[in-house]
Structures are given as structure tokens and as C-alpha cells.
Amino acid sequence: MDIALTTFAELGLAPDILRALNEMGYATPTPIQEQVIPLALQGGDILGAAQTGTGKTAAFALPLIQRLLPFANSGTSPAKHPIRALILTPTRELAIQVEESVKDYTKHVPLRSLVVFGGVNINTQIPILKAGVEILVATPGRLLDHVQNKTLMLNQVNTLVLDEADRMLDMGFMPDLKRIVELLPAQRVNMMFSATFPEEIRKLADSILNNATFIEVARNETAITVTQVVHPVHHERKRQLLVHLVKSRDLSQVLVFTGTKLGCNRLANELNKIGIHADAIHGDKSQQERMKALDAFKAGTVRVLVATDVAARGIDIEALPFVINYDLPHNPEDYVHRIGRTGRAGAKGEAISLVSASETRYLKDIEKLLDRNIDAVIVPGFEPGAAEVPAYQSREPRRSGNAGDRSQVAPRATNSQPTESRPPRAKPASQHDVLFDAPYVPSNPAQPANAPEAIRRTPKKQVAALFRTPVKSDSTE
């Protein structure tokens, strides 16, 4: 049976918009576009549960543009180009990318757009605002700066989009958002998108939207084209495992997430020292530095981009193949956002998490949110191992036997440290403990990298036990 795919034309989009989509190579709408576009064309409010990577930008931007077509004109008078649509995003990176998409979609129609965000000289934005733009993409703080300076007017806005509302909440933009909404005409169309729906987001939606249609696409799920895997590893060996994965699998365009700015810088420096070209983006980097790093990453001259959650928000790179969680986020929603950078709009992606014993609680939260388990795979030579056992635990020599279980343990480096220096072993309570009981042997940098095929799958029920041994602390910073 043939399955007829909906086309953009069938969604009711205008020829000039269809032409732009065609030129961009958009063949068919994504599920969120299929659902949002017809409703938004009719002017209904929308609450969208969709993360970045699902095609949500086009889902809100295309109907917004189409509804502005009657106002499109090539006149030179600023009065002919008031701000009619306001799109708010949490970060400058996302704002830039959204506006780039808007520019692409409006290529064949005389509608003007502009992006304004903080961290850059406000004076460069003023002349363009004064000349008039119909579609303004902004971060909340900078928008309010302009409002305060009276360098823009919001009294003709007929469409409001809140993109990544949950992130705006996380970043403390709620008071700014409320102030902005009060400045807008009451008669308007509202669209709000969020990957997650904590209580405060629901309240915000209630206060802003009118009779909104809730559209849910893969809520709290990651794009189906993203393969997710967890590599249990001792926290001290994460960097070596990262290097091993990058080198042995010849990975490029790898986005690596760390928990802190310090860890982000440190990891990028360490990778550079061993010849893996890396750069770091985080909140302490200037806008120029971030853009430079992002451009080099997009161009492929930077192989690994190390980022914190805030800095990486909204990064949009066509078919970003790999996302690696060097540190698991403490907030499970951040995991969903992070891995939303890969497997976008149908492209295949891989999300790899390096998880140490003390991070299992975060892993559990993530799995709860996703409502599924993530496969755990031990990379041979990087077993979590006995080094995770605090020295104060009393241990006794291992009993012989259980060879079958031992055979499950991957071969480790042969350049063992003198065994006399190791503490005596505790009796393994189960086969899980046998897996865990392997001694941690610092690897020899000269040791050839294991082939990726050697990666061994661990039965799911054993996974929890892989991390059973407590550790005192696991600061990667």
C-alpha cells in the first residue's frame, strides 16, 4: 500500500513560500509542521511540545510569514514596516538561527526581519530597527533594553512566539517575559514551544495563550533517529575514553557537553594538547568567540566543540552526527535538549553518555523522563572497575570460580601496575560484582586503540549493578 505523504502545498502555504522551501530542499513537512501549520494559518493559538530538531522553527515561522503576506511591501517608509511578529528565544545562538531560517523562508517576499540580542553593541541594531522590520527575533533582555531606549514599538505586534519556553524559565527570563507580554496588543496569535512542561511552564501557557491547541510531537522523547548509548566508566578515565572514541571511530563534528565552564575549557585544552582540534563555548566567552568557534566547528576545522548547556542552546548544525555527554546533566530535561542537537529532521545521530558511578542518579532521572532505558555498553579497557571502591572498604581476596562471568569482562591493558600496590579484593556477591570487581588499570597511552566492533553490550539488568559500588566524590571540575 502506498502511503501518500502530505506536501507543503497541501498544508496551504503560498507559492512564494513553497518556492523558498523547495530551494532549501525541504521535500515534505515534519510531523510538527504537518500539525501546526494548518492550525496556525487559521490564527489559532498553539502550545507545542517539541524540541529543537523536530522542525519546529518552520512550524511556527511559515504560517507566521504567510499571515503577514498581506502586509508585505517594498516601500521605503519605516511606517510601512512596523514590527508585526515577535519571536522570543532564550539565547543569542538560537535567536540567530531562527532569524536565519526566517530570512530563508522570506527570500521571495518583501518582509523584513532582524535579530537582536545582548552582548553586542546596541547601537548597531538601532538604525535597522528605525528603518522598520516586520519580524523581530529577540532575546528578552535586549528587547527590553530597546523598549527602554524607545528604539522600537511593539504596539502593532499581531503574533507572538515563545521558543524554548522551558529554557527561558531556567534562565530566569520569566519576569522579562511577563513585562514584554504586557506591552503587546491583546489581539494577537500566540505560539509557545517547549521541550518540557514543568508546572511553571503550564502556568505561563495558561496566562499567555487563548484556547490553545496542544500539539505534542515526541514529548520528552528524543528524535527517533538518534541512537542513545551509555558507556559506564570510571570518572578519572572519561577523558581517555573520549579520546579513544574520537580516534578509534574517527569521529568528527563532535559536540561534547560538560557540566561547568571550567571543565569545558580544561577538556578543550587537553584535547588540543594531544592533537585533537577542539574549542570551547560557554557563558564566559564573548559572543564573537562563540560565533568564531561555532563557525569553525560547522566548517569542520574544529573537530570537537566542548560546550556547556547554556552556550550550546539552540546550536543548529545540519545533521550534527555526534553528541557526547562528558558529564551527565543534573537536570534530565537538559539531556533531552542536548541530544536534540543530533539526529535532526530525519538525519541519523548518535548520543553517547560517559557515565561514572556517582552519576547513576542522574541517569535514572533521565530514563524516568524518557520512560525508557538507555542501553549501557562497556567499552573494553574502560570498565568502571575496582578503582571506584573507596579505600576504606574492607576487602578480602577473591575466590576462584565463576569463569563464565569473568569471560564477560573485556580484556584490559596488559601494562598492569604492580599488583602488590592494589588493595585486596572483596568477595563478589554476584556476577554483577564480578563485572565491577575488575581492577582499574591506568591505560598505556601507547596502547593501540580498541576497534569499535570490540564494544560489548551489557545485558540491561546488569547495568544498574555496574555502578553499585559507591564513590566518595566525582567532581570532574
Give contact residues for ligand AMP (rule: CB under 6 A). 26, 29-30, 33, 52-58, 316, 318, 344-345
Which of 26/117 has CB closer to ligand AMP?
Answer: 26
Q: Rounded to the nearest whole angstrom, what is the least distance from the CB of residue 56 to ligand AMP in the complex?
A: 5
Contact 103, 83 (CB under 8 A): no
Beta strand extents in 69-217 (DSSP E only): 85-88, 113-116, 135-138, 159-162, 189-194, 213-216
d(CA 106, CA 17): 7
d(CA 84, CA 227): 40
Which of 85/268 has CB closer to ligand AMP?
Answer: 85
C-alpha cell at 25: 530542499
d(CA 242, CA 256): 9
Q: Rounded to the nearest whole angstrom, what is the least distance from the CB of residue 212 to ligand AMP in the complex?
A: 20
Which of 80/103 has CB closer to ligand AMP?
Answer: 103
Q: Rounded to the nearest whole angstrom, what is the least distance from the CB of residue 46 to ligand AMP in the complex?
A: 15
Ordered strands of the 113-116 beta sheet: 113-116, 135-138, 85-88, 159-162, 189-194, 46-49, 213-216
- Nearest CA-CA partner of 228 in 372, 382, 385, 409: 372
Q: Rounded to the nearest whole angstrom, what is the least distance from the CB of residue 334 to ligand AMP in the complex?
A: 17
Which of 28/393 has CB closer to ligand AMP?
Answer: 28
Q: Rounded to the nearest whole angstrom, what is the least distance from the CB of residue 350 to ligand AMP in the complex?
A: 17
d(CA 435, CA 269): 33
Q: Rounded to the nearest whole angstrom, what is the least distance from the CB of residue 318 to ligand AMP in the complex?
A: 5
In terms of DSSP bridges, do strands 375-378 and 254-257 run parallel, antiparallel, or are they unpaired?
unpaired
- Nearest CA-CA partner of 54 in 162, 213, 163, 166: 163
Q: Rounded to the nearest whole angstrom, what is the least distance from the CB of residue 70 to ligand AMP in the complex?
A: 25
